[in-house]
Structure 1
């Protein structure tokens, strides 16, 4: 079962599906104990990875690497990823969508803002012309296979909100999001305009949208609720309070046994759950998890061909009509040695054992085949009789075989 289909099934089978915004692996580890769906928030990612506001600083390779780490640690959770405006260019947007799908993302959110972009609940947002955004959206939809695509509009004028929401509902996008909705009444209007298309509602603490419970959202016809920053803002307050208390206590840490504060043991137990060995074994190919392995970018297992029995030449399969491969003919017809002793003789090859011994007796290296070398070898093997054109010479190295390696020659004058 693929991740996109799993998220679609969750959206269609529950009144309102909550997705919790996480900003790093530690916050995801805590959120995984309470919810089975994550929202990779652009606000939280920009704050935690860059220390910058959500105004367009995110680089898509960084987001892709983060999603990959999340999927490896949480193989059973939904991952909805905020890709902003698709990183400006439609070609880049399609490439990122395909990479995220192979990495294991469940879905993406594509907005209609143009640069410089802003957080969806901030003032001063600029939006693309509807036709330009629809063209980008259509390219993204055609490049995905199973991924859930959320079409988002950041329009602020009432008439433009309804016009764009209706246009998005007519596309093949899986879900529609109108970000920064200011009232319950406007949620009802958007719900009516988009018809049966699933509706997503974005809640952020201190944002422009009203604070509503899941039960209230279900009554309004909202299918998905994303909580962008509860982990980030909670960590902000907790860190600030803990460091303030540490300063007041003159640097003395609290006693975790008495106060129940988080310590090394509890943190380690939490993180050990993310180790791959705790996620079970990988199912064999052909099972229901084969598509999931493909979504992670893992190669499908392929059967290996059965090994063939070598025929013809003793060193390999029958090629070149049973003759030895070109470039190896001389080695193939040498005398038998090692575990293949007798193979060459059985096939009618001459032994030629002397090729490996005569040069050794004469103090020569068999690998050297120069003309002068051959003449010197013949002279030495003939009993030391000098050549008419060459003076008598004694065998080099005392008749012993020289060491293998490169010879170093002195240059004239040294």
Structure 2
């Protein structure tokens, strides 16, 4: 049956080991549990849950309107079906430091391998839009410290994201990253770096694991995996790629259906029924069900 065969603790230890390996982990963003299964089948190292994707899936903009409980519920649905470590976008922690602490524990309970918190004000904005505002460095450090102190599994990864590059400049973003590590962050997510030189400067200055956000249509360049590995980054993140691909295909399909009155020309672009059943493991469910139906109790005394 389609479910994880590993425990959250095992996935968290594996994620830590992967980050310590020195190689680049490629991490696409899942749009639902099914796509997380496809990410695993394709051979990727880990999966991601983007706050922007989760908001869009609910028909909301990425401005902090989702709640920690909504995010945790979707996360649990995803971690149930994949053996990959899953990292989640926890926005600003959904409130004050105590809210960030509760958020971390909710995400632990959801079976995730880690989360990242960011230093924007509430309500936040997409990291690649203009007009962002960041909280004072000390306020974010308290946010990180609260989450670190609330952690029950020491292998659960606490990553801090800084959006300060676009607001205060590169040097300030690096200083903030160092302060967040001192406050308890295990890894850093420098958002919206402008070019390869800035990625290199961040790597030179910060000695914990670093995530490179390779989101499309953003402020920074789309560096390939070989380049990021040469730069010494630990994670290449593709947060919204699958969502954009899927929604683009859906829009094209709807236009074709509306214009032609039939989906026949779209059939070559569709996943087949047999492939759908293969991914979902229909045969395994049938075997399981048959075993239950055939079960009989031994004779009583």
Scaled to the shorter chain, the TM-score interval is 0.7 to 0.9
Query: Which sections of structure 2, spanning at least 5 residues, go unmatched?
Result: 1-8, 288-301
Structure 1 stretch displaced more, 239-248 or 147-156: 239-248
Of 145, 150, 153, the match for 2:162: 153
Of 230, 233, 236, the match for 2:244: 233
Rounded to whole Å, the distance in 2 between the matches of 1:38 and 1:274 is 26
Q: Which residue of 2 aligns with 1:136?
A: 143
2:253/2:266 contact within 8 Å kept: no
Rounded to whole Å, the distance in 2 between the matches of 1:13 and 1:58 is 34
- Greater relative CO (CA pairs within 8 A, separation 6+): 2
The Cα of 1:9 is off from its aligned counterpart by: 0.4
**Distance change >3 Å, CA 55–CA 13, structure 1 → 2:** same
Q: Which residue of 1 aligns with 2:186?
A: 174
The Cα of 1:246 is off from its aligned counterpart by: 2.1
1:246/1:252 contact within 8 Å kept: yes
Which ranges of 4 or more aligned residues in structure 1 deviate by more than 6 Å? 273-278
Matches within 5 A, 1:207-286: 207-254=218-265, 256=267, 259=268, 261-272=270-281
The Cα of 1:260 is off from its aligned counterpart by: 6.2
2:140/2:180 contact within 8 Å kept: no
User: Aligned with 2:264: secondary structure?
Assistant: coil
Matches within 5 A, 1:247-326: 247-254=258-265, 256=267, 259=268, 261-272=270-281
**Distance change >3 Å, CA 247–CA 10, structure 1 → 2:** same
Query: What CA RMSD, in Å, does the superposition of the two structures yield over aligned residues?
Result: 2.1
**Distance change >3 Å, CA 45–CA 190, structure 1 → 2:** same
**Residue 96 (structure 1) aligned with residue 100 (structure 2):** no
**Residue 190 (structure 1) aligned with residue 199 (structure 2):** no
Q: Which residue of 1 aligns with 2:177?
A: 165
Rounded to whole Å, the distance in 2 between the matches of 1:274 and 1:205 is 38
More helix by share: 2
The Cα of 1:91 is off from its aligned counterpart by: 1.4
Structure 1-normalised TM-score? 0.62
The Cα of 1:133 is off from its aligned counterpart by: 0.8
Determine which structure has more spread, i.e. the larger CA radius of gyration. Answer: 1
Structure 1 stretch displaced more, 94-103 or 241-250: 241-250
User: Aligned with 1:2: secondary structure?
Assistant: helix
2:47/2:84 contact within 8 Å kept: yes
Structure 2-normalised TM-score? 0.84
Rounded to whole Å, the distance in 2 between the matches of 1:246 and 1:198 is 47
**Residue 28 (structure 1) aligned with residue 42 (structure 2):** no
The Cα of 1:53 is off from its aligned counterpart by: 1.3
User: Aligned with 2:29: secondary structure?
Assistant: strand
Query: Which sections of structure 1, spanning at least 5 residues, go unmatched?
Result: 279-414
List per-residue Cα deviations over 1:280-330 (Å, max 9, x = no partner): xxxxxxxxxxxxxxxxxxxxxxxxxxxxxxxxxxxxxxxxxxxxxxxxxxx
The Cα of 1:125 is off from its aligned counterpart by: 0.8
The Cα of 1:275 is off from its aligned counterpart by: 7.6
Number of aligned residue pairs: give it: 273
1:205/1:230 contact within 8 Å kept: yes
